[in-house]
C-alpha cells in the first residue's frame, strides 16, 4: 500500500488540567489513503467530533499530531473543508453568494472573474442547486441548505472533506437523497472524506472503512472494519446483500455489546442492591 495521505499519530486530547482534567482521547492512530471515504462511529461523548476538529485544525491535540499530504496540521486551512450538521450558511447572503465568498477567498489571485463564476455555478450544479441561485437560506429547505454547504466546501477544492454528522438534522427521505448525492460526487471527484456519524446504515453505505470508537473517557479506536462492497452502491440492492448485512452486524455488535454505555446507579440503589450489581448497563 502507498504512503498514507492523512495520518493521525498517537493523538491524545485532554481538556482542562489538574483535578478538573478530562481525558477525551488516548492514543489515536489512523492512516487514510488518498480517495478513501472513512466514517467514525461510536456512542455520544466518545470524542468523534474532537478527532475531526483536530484534523480540521480547530483544536490542537494535547500530544501527537496530524500529517496531511506530508505537511503537519497546526491550524485551520483551505486544504480541509468542514460541513457541519447545521448548515452554517450566512443568512444575509444568497445561495450563490454563500459559495462565492469561499471561492473569492481562495481563488481571487489565481483565477479570472469569469473562471471563478463558472466554478461557483459548476459546484452548485453538482448538488442540483442551480435553480436557487438568488434565494436566501430562509427561502430554501434544510436539505437544500446542506446541499449548498457541501457545494461551498467542494468549491474550496480541499484535500480532505470533513463531514460532521451532515445529515443528522434531516428527515429520513432527505437524508437518503443527500447520501446518494455524496456517493455520486465522491465517485466523480475521488475526494478523501472523513465523516462523523451515529447511523450504522449510513456508515456502511458510504464508507470504504468504518472506524469504531470506544467509550470515553480516554476513548480510542476499538476496531476498524473494511467495507468490501463494490462501487457505485445502490441502497435498494444492498438491502439483501450478505456482505452489507454482515458489516452492519459487526458494527452493531461493537456498539451495543462490546461498548455498552456504563452508568453508575444512585447511592441509594447501590446500598440496597447486591454488592456485585454496582452498575446499570444501557445500550
Domain CATH number, residue 68: 3.40.50.300
Does residue 124 lie in a domain region?
A: no
| 81-135 pLDDT tens trace | 999 888 789 999 999 999 999 999 999 999 999 999 999 999 999 999 999 999 9
- Does 176 fall in a domain? yes
Express each pLDDT in 187-207 by its tens digit.
899 999 999 999 999 999 999
Q: Which of 36, 27, 78 is CA-nearest to residue 57? A: 78
**Residue 244 confidence (pLDDT):** 96
Residue 174 lies in a domain: yes
The pLDDT value recorded for residue 266 is: 38
Q: What pLDDT does residue 85 have? A: 84
Structurally, how many domains does the chain consist of?
Answer: 1
Distance, in Å, from the CA atom of 124 to the CA atom of 113, rounded to the nearest integer, reads 17
Q: Using only C-alpha atoms, what is the Rg of the chain?
A: 21
Distance CA 15, CA 266 (A): 27
pLDDT at 261: 52
Q: How many residues does the chain have?
A: 283
> In 3D, which of 52, 93, 42, 99 has the Cα closest to residue 195?
52
| 113 within some domain | no
pTM of the predicted protein model? 0.87
Domain range enclosing 183: 6-79+158-282
Asked whether residue 270 is assigned to any structural domain, the reply reads: yes
Q: Cα separation of 147 and 129, whole Å?
A: 7
Bigger pLDDT: 209 vs 256 = 209
The pLDDT of residue 273 is above 70 = no
Give a yes or no: residue 92 inside a domain. Answer: no
What is the average per-residue pLDDT within 141-158?
A: 94
Mean pLDDT estimate for the chain: 89
Assigned domain for 136 exists: no
Rounded to whole angstroms, the Cα distance separating 239 from 189 reads 26
Tens of pLDDT, residue by residue over 10-58, are 999 999 888 888 999 999 999 999 999 999 999 988 999 999 999 999 9
Residue 149 counted as domain residue = no
Asked if residues 133 and 26 have their Cβ atoms less than 8 Å apart, the reply is no
Amino acid at each position: 500500500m502507498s504512503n498514507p495521505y492523512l495520518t493521525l499519530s498517537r493523538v491524545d486530547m485532554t481538556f482542562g488540567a489538574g483535578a478538573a482534567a478530562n481525558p477525551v482521547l488516548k492514543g489515536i492512530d489512523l492512516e487514510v489513503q488518498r480517495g478513501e471515504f472513512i466514517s467514525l462511529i461510536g456512542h455520544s461523548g466518545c470524542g468523534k467530533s474532537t478527532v475531526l476538529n483536530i484534523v480540521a485544525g480547530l483544536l490542537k491535540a494535547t500530544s501527537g499530531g496530524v500529517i496531511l499530504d506530508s505537511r503537519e496540521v497546526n491550524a485551520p486551512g483551505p486544504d480541509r473543508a468542514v460541513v457541519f450538521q447545521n448548515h452554517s450558511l450566512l443568512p444575509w447572503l444568497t445561495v450563490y453568494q454563500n459559495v462565492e465568498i469561499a471561492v473569492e477567498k481562495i481563488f481571487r489571485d489565481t483565477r479570472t472573474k469569469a473562471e471563478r463564476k463558472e466554478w461557483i455555478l459548476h459546484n452548485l450544479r453538482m448538488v442540483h442547486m442551480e435553480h436557487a441561485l438568488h434565494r436566501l437560506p430562509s427561502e430554501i429547505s434544510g436539505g437544500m441548505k446542506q446541499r449548498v454547504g457541501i457545494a461551498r466546501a467542494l468549491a474550496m477544492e480541499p484535500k480532505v472533506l470533513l463531514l460532521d454528522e451532515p445529515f443528522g438534522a434531516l428527515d429520513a427521505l432527505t437524508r437518503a437523497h443527500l447520501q446518494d448525492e455524496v456517493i455520486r460526487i465522491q465517485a466523480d471527484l475521488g475526494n478523501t472524506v472523513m465523516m462523523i456519524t451515529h447511523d450504522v446504515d449510513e456508515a456502511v453505505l458510504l464508507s470504504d472503512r468504518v472506524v469504531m470508537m470506544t467509550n470515553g473517557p480516554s476513548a480510542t479506536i476499538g476496531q476498524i472494519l473494511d467495507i468490501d462492497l463494490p462501487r457505485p452502491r445502490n441502497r435498494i440492492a444492498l438491502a439483501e446483500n450478505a456482505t452489507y448485512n454482515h458489516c452492519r452486524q459487526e458494527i452493531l455488535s461493537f456498539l451495543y455489546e462490546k461498548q455498552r454505555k456504563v452508568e453508575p446507579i444512585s447511592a441509594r440503589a447501590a446500598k440496597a442492591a447486591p454488592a456485585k450489581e454496582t452498575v446499570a448497563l444501557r445500550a
